[in-house]
Structure 1
Amino acid sequence: MSATRDYHVDAIDYATDAGAVHQVRDVVFVQEQQVPRELERDALDPLSHHVVARDASGTSIGTARLTPEHRIGRMAVLSAWRGRGVGDALLAALLDEARRRQWPDVSLHAQVAAEAFYARHGFLPEGERFFEAGIEHQTMRRVLAGPGSIAHRAEAVAITTAIIAQARRALVVYSRALDPGLWDAPAVVDALRRFATRQTGAQVQLLLQDAATPQRALAPLIGLGQRLPSVFAFREVQDPVDLPYTAAFVANDDHGYYFRPLGHRFDGEAGLSHAGRARQLREEFSQMWERARPVSEYRALGI
């Protein structure tokens, strides 16, 4: 059991406590989303690992399941409890169970409206969107054992968002020129804004090889840095020893990193539970940061 504010999350025995599951799912899926009850309940329910969130009085307020197919699903939270961390707690409980079973990864079918929520937890989109029970969905997957491979922009945006969300107080970014398609993606900019404003003492250090190009392009992170100068710091590589560096990366002060061997491409590897690799990148960054020049011209740019 994990205590969280005024609710808690437990694993339940579906054979004896199915009512706690369907009490929530009937409201969310059948009543709110108009999913036929015969589609909402299936043969996987008795075979799956279920978790239920309950309030202080013991009333079910959320539920989710982990199927034998290594898939997370039927994530549902009553409307009055949304936005209070219940979904995060349910998802964390299922990820812990998947790790306990030593599964290498888990997948899910995310309703498109919830795609950003799962991205913040390290799930990456796979394939094209599709309709299920009349609702548009996106397949997403999270690697649990070892780093995951990143190949496309959508994956790059999702993992970067997750790394920002996971950060405690510090992020370091090494980028060629605030790479278009990644550091100007609305989801990434929004994640940085939330991080900068929610966390006391938050710090984001951005080290660039080319500071002029994003300045000419009016990159949104420059404007964000102007509004929050105590959080964002920009420097540009100038030491000859650093100029040939071709990679790009982001790393946080927890366990998350995303490394691209070629900084102009999205291809790379990433993980959210690799403290050693994240620490190595931060140390490498720190050395280059000390040799770099502050980008003072960003402070004077009118956006």
Structure 2
Amino acid sequence: MTGPAPAFRIETADYARDFEALRAVREPVFVVEQQVPIEEEWDALDPACFHVLARDAAGTPIGTGRLTPERKIGRMAVLAPWRGRGVATALLEALVAEARRRGWEAVSLHAQVQAMPFYARAGFEAYGEEFMEAGIAHRRMRRTLSGPEPLREHVAVRGAEHTAEVAERIVALARRELRLLSPDLDPAVFGRPALVEAMKRFAIAGRGGRILLLVHDATALSRQSHPLLGLLQRLPSVFEPRVVEEPVDREDSAAILVNDRGDSWFRAVAARQEGEALMGHPARARQLAQRFDALFERARPATELRALGI
């Protein structure tokens, strides 16, 4: 099983300052891949647009998008190796958030026909007839922004029972991926039968799901016969456990649970009972997932947790 995709970040770009970074994405995607004439790719609107850039962990540009004064989203592009990893969704969310910040009632775009399902999932609706643009079939799409933002829920989490209830909800809402960091896999929370059962349902749902698990002391967990470890042993194709070993990483005593729908739970200090959950908040979930992934990449596989007899 492969590890998680490397972290990326979304940032605002200045057209003049960051032109080469924008060019490093747009020309390979539009001019080279899609054969858009280069004179059509760069237009007079570009200097007046609000631009966003996605960069990988090394700072290399991997995605772009822009918001025009005409209240349109455009030039959405992600380099091929990064497609399917959430970069386009993050770029689109940043552009929609900026449109909301400006008080716009709606935002529109010209979607390549093959990309229409992606925009539809983000709340855009198609209208008008299909048309050709730069030799590619497009449809116009529009999303209304007036009214309240999508419901988000902030929950102050107190005590093991409440934490387990919130964690069970986050697991139940997951689509295909869960990330769990708990130094000692707190048995008072993650050993509760209802939560273990929720993870089992996720694991056997047949959606190709996986659970990335980070702990600090795998040997101690084996001796404790933690209820979740039995599930891990029976479903090794779903669980990917690793052990945090780098001294600087072990100083991070936080606990994290995050799903791929935008729901998360966090304790700054795992041993304390206080924590917070943010439901329906993709930006916070991405932030925690990136923090988790940085630790996960440096951790070693917890082979001792897969041994018979745990």
TM-score by length of 2: 0.51
> For residues 28-67 of structure 1, what are the structure 2 equivalents within 5 Å?
none
Letter in 2 for 1:166: L
Q: What is the CA-CA distance between 1:176 and the residue it aligns to? A: 1.0
1:217 aligns with 2:219: no
Question: Are 1:246 and 2:253 an aligned pair?
Answer: yes
Q: Return the match for 1:300 from 282, 300, 307.
A: 307
Instruction: Specify the SS of the correspondent of 1:241.
Output: helix
Structure 1 stretches lacking a partner, 5+ long: 1-99, 103-143
Whichever residue aligns with residue 177 of structure 1, its letter is: D
Matched, 1:237 2:237: no
Tell me whether 1:171 sits opposite 2:166 in the alignment: no
Task: Give the counterpart of 1:262 among 266, 269, 273.
Answer: 269
Q: Confirm or deny that 1:151 pairs with 2:158.
A: yes
- Which residue in 2 is equivalent to 1:194? 201
When the two chains are superposed, the root-mean-square deviation of aligned CA atoms in Å is 2.1
Cα pair 1:246 1:262 within 8 Å, conserved: yes
3-state DSSP of counterpart to 2:217? coil
Runs of 4+ in 1 over 6 A off after TM superposition: none
CA offset digits 1:163-220 (Å, max 9, x no partner): 0001000000010111011110011100000000013211001100121221111011
Q: Which amino acid aligns with 2:189?
A: L
How far the C-alpha of 1:148 sits from its partner, in A, is 1.2
Distance of 2:182 and 2:308 partners within structure 1: 20
Aligned 1:35-114 pairs, distance under 5 A: none
Deviations, residues 33-71 of structure 1 (Å, cap 9, x unaligned) = xxxxxxxxxxxxxxxxxxxxxxxxxxxxxxxxxxxxxxx
What is the identity, as a one-letter code, of the residue corresponding to 1:194? Answer: R
Letter in 1 for 2:192: A
Q: Offset of 1:266 from its aligned partner? A: 2.8
Kindly indicate whether the alpha-carbon contact (under 8 Å) linking 2:152 and 2:281 is maintained by their aligned counterparts in 1: no
CA distance in 2, matches of 1:150, 1:252: 17
Deviation at 1:301, TM superposition (A): 3.3
Q: For the residues of structure 1 that align with 2:256 and 2:205, how far apart are their CA atoms?
A: 23
Identity %: 42
* Larger relative contact order, structure 1 or 2 (CA cutoff 8 Å, min sep 6): 2
Kindly state the Cα deviation for residue 145 of structure 1 after the two structures are TM-superposed: 4.6
Structure-2 separation of matches of 1:173 and 1:300: 20
Shift of 1:302: 0.8
Separation (CA, whole Å) in 1 of partners of 2:199 and 2:263: 15
2:289 aligned residue (273, 282, 295): 282
Q: Structure 2 counterpart of 1:266, which letter?
A: Q
* 8 Å CA contact 1:169, 1:199 repeated in 2: no
The residue type equivalent to 1:221 in the other structure is: L
Deviation, structure 1 residue 293: 0.6
CA contact (8 A) 2:181 2:292 kept: yes
> Equivalents in 1 of 2:215, 2:308: separation in Å?
17
Count of residue pairs the alignment pairs up: 165
1:223 Cα offset (Å): 1.0
